[in-house]
């Protein structure tokens, strides 16, 4: 079994628990409200805006024995730059003020997830950050494109309100094979354990963000 297969196996329960969160199931069934989608995008902005800074922090703390990872992280940094701007554009298409979103700051669940990511890099094993990459990219591939179609159909929103979900979902499909190759190069049991532990934690922390989103029934069902 490759390490990537071990990672999938070691996080299966956490991954399945995330997908069963009621608001995620609502989205996949087209039962979502505009406030819920807007709230999701606001929280996404406040963690996605840290993706590149987190990658820079991870790169700076990668030990010499893993020096080969620095070029891989540089590639991730190049590809992830500007994704937070996609989210602000989507929010603008929904009628939100991007400056107000920036000033408002994240909800507590998002703040804790971001803080845990920085803590993993600075205090634990920086390689554990790839547990977060695994969770966010894997969830995006599994859910983003399907959710975008369902939400747009349910709410009648323009395509301009879905650049983050659709672009990120498509990009992360391409990233999956590369991420597997990257993980399979990790041959230290300590590094492997750090990634699996962090991934399980990030499934919990990311799930907490979804659980905190408003989950009102669509207006036509509530009537």
Domain boundaries, position 193: 3-214
The answer to whether the beta carbons of residues 207 and 22 sit under 8 Å apart is no
- In a 3-state reduction of DSSP, which class is residue 7? helix
CB atoms within 10 A of CB 83: 19
Residue 155 located in a structural domain: yes
Rounded to an integer, the average pLDDT of 50-74 is 96
In sign, the C-alpha dihedral spanning 32, 148, 7, 210 is negative
Measured in whole angstroms, the distance separating CA 45 from the mean position of its chain's CA atoms is 10
pLDDT at residue 211 greater than cutoff 60: yes
Establish if 182 belongs to a structural domain: yes
**Over 130-161, what HEC string results?**
HHHHHHHHHHHHHHHHHHHHHHHHHHCCCHHH
| Other CB atoms within 10 Å distance of the CB of residue 2 | 11
Lowest mean pLDDT among 63-77, 105-119, 175-189: 175-189
Q: Which two tokens stand for residue 136?
A: 């966010």
The pLDDT of residue 218 is 45
Domain assignment present for 27: yes
Query: What is the model's pLDDT at position 222?
Result: 44
Counted domains in the chain: 1
The percent of residues above 70 in pLDDT, for the chain, comes to 91
- Whether 191 maps to a domain, the answer reads yes
Q: Give the integer Cα–Cα distance in Å for 138 and 56.
A: 21
| pLDDT over threshold 80, residue 112 | yes
Confidence of residue 217 (pLDDT cuts 50, 70, 90): low
With the C-alpha atoms ordered 64, 69, 5, 139, is the resulting torsion angle positive or negative? positive
Query: pLDDT tens-digit profile of 8-32?
Result: 999 999 999 999 999 988 888 878 8
Please report the pLDDT score of residue 171 as a whole number.
Answer: 56
* Residue 141 confidence (pLDDT) above 70: no
Q: What is the pLDDT, as a whole number, of residue 42?
A: 96
* Residue 88 within any structural domain of the chain: yes
- Candidates 166, 172, 214; CA nearest to 38 is 214
Q: What is the dihedral of CA 173, 84, 139, 207, to 10 degrees?
A: 180
- Establish if 219 belongs to a structural domain: no
**Which of 36, 155, 46, 164 lies closest to 100 in space, CA to CA?**
46
Nearest CA-CA partner of 10 in 203, 177, 174, 216? 203
Within a domain: residue 222? no
Residue 99, pLDDT score: 92
Instruction: Report whether pLDDT(220) > 50.
Output: no
Averaged pLDDT for residues 185-194:
96
pLDDT the model gives residue 150:
84
Residue 118: φ, ψ to 5°:
-65, -40
pLDDT grade for 169, boundaries at 50, 70 and 90: low
Is residue 69 pLDDT above 90, yes or no?
A: yes
**pLDDT at 223 (0 to 100):** 43
Residue 180 included in any domain: yes
CATH code at position 104: 1.20.910.10
Mean pLDDT of 189-202: 98
pLDDT band at 170, cuts 50/70/90? low
Distance from C-alpha of 90 to C-alpha of 69, rounded to nearest angstrom: 33
């Amino acid at each position: 079994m490759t390490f990537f297969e071990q990672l999938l196996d070691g996080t299966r329960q956490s991954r399945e628990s995330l997908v069963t969160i009621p608001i995620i199931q609502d989205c996949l069934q087209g039962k979502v409200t505009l406030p819920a989608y807007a709230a999701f995008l606001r929280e996404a902005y406040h963690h996605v805006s840290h993706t590149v800074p987190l990658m820079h922090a991870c790169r700076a703390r990668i030990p010499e024995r893993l020096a080969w990872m620095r070029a891989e992280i540089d590639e991730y940094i190049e590809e992830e730059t500007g994704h937070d701007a996609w989210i602000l554009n989507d929010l603008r298409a929904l009628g939100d003020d991007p400056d107000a979103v920036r000033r408002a700051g994240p909800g507590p669940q998002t703040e804790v997830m971001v803080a845990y990511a920085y803590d993993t890099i600075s205090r634990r094993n920086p390689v554990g950050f790839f547990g977060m990459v695994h969770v966010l990219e894997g969830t995006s591939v599994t859910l983003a494109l399907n959710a975008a179609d369902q939400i747009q159909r349910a709410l009648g929103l323009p395509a301009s309100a879905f650049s983050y979900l659709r672009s990120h979902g498509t990009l992360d499909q391409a990233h999956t094979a590369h991420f597997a190759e990257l993980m399979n190069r990790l041959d230290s049991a300590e590094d492997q354990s750090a990634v699996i532990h962090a991934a399980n934690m990030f499934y919990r922390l990311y799930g907490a963000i979804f659980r905190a989103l408003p989950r009102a029934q669509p207006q036509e069902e509530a009537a």
